[in-house]
Structure formats: C-alpha cells, structure tokens
Amino acid sequence: MLDQLLENDWLFDDFSARELEQLAGAMVERHVYSGEVLVLEEERPDRLFVVIEGAVEVSRQSDQGDRVLAVLGPGSMFGLVALLDRGRRAATCVARGPGKVAELPRDSFDLLYQSNAPLADKFQYAIARQLARDVKQMTRVLLAETLGQ
C-alpha cells in the first residue's frame, strides 16, 4: 500500500515499482492525530518522515515565541537534515489535523543511504531534491521577512 502512495509522490517519480516496494518495506506507515509532536526541536534524531496525508507544521523557538517556518503537505520529507549531519533537530514538527506519515528509522536510513545499490542512488537524489525544495522555501520566508511582507 505504501509503495503505491509513494509512486504518486514527486520525490520518488524516478523509482521503479520494485524500488518503491523496497523503500516502502523499510518504512513504517502510521496515522497521526491533530497536535501530535512528530519531531521536537533539539532532540536527537532517530527517523525521517514523509507526509502521506494531512499537513505538518514546522516551527522553531525564538525570542518572540514559536515561529512557524512552513506547513508541509503530502509528499514532503522532513527530519532529514539531523540524520545527515548527526546533529540535533532544528525545529519542531506537529501534525496539523489527522493524517498519515511514513517513517524511515535511522538504521534503515543509514543502510539505504550508504549502500551502493541503484536504489541508494535514487534515494540520495530524492533527498537532494527535498533539500533544494527546503532551501527555496526558506529563502522565500527570509525574503518576505526582510522586505516586510
């Protein structure tokens, strides 16, 4: 079921049906409830997420309180940077209403990311695409703030 959902996701559009099946086999699909904290700022990472249904709000603590950085919808991957750089989580991610996510645990991520298999190459490319999308989004937010919009 999860492989069919991933098939319609722009991040995974280069994957064959077999590769999607392999990726889905490494992930755990679960329902989330409104207000559920999926990632907590400053915690140690143990997984990444892909939004399957619903929305996830990304926020960060500031001197003025919580600051919403983005709202992620289906197809968005999050919790990725801390897994890559082995640092702490940079933001808090909370479900905005009921939804569904797919989780990829750290050990599965590491095996997939460090493998020499063709699936690993495509997965690394999907990660790069998501990071590029994130950079563009943050640039828009920063420009809007700088220009007072």
Domains of the chain are 2-105+119-139 (2.60.120.10)
- Going by C-alpha positions, the residue among 9, 65, 55 that lies closest to residue 32 is 55
Reduced to 3 states (helix: H, G, I; strand: E, B; else coil), residue 149 is coil
Q: What is the pLDDT of residue 7?
A: 65
Q: Is the pLDDT of residue 115 over 90?
A: no
Average pLDDT of the residues of the chain: 84
Under DSSP, is residue 49 helix (H, G, I), strand (E, B) or coil?
Answer: strand
Share of the chain above pLDDT 90, in %: 28
- Ranked by mean pLDDT, which of 64-73, 74-83, 87-96 comes out on top? 87-96
Q: b/e for 61-86, b at 16 or more Cβ within 10 A?
A: eeeeeeeebbebebbbbbbbbbbeee
Whether residue 57 is predicted with pLDDT greater than 90 in this model: the reply is yes
Q: What is the pLDDT of residue 102?
A: 92
Q: What is the number of other CB atoms lying within 10 angstroms of the CB of residue 25?
A: 10
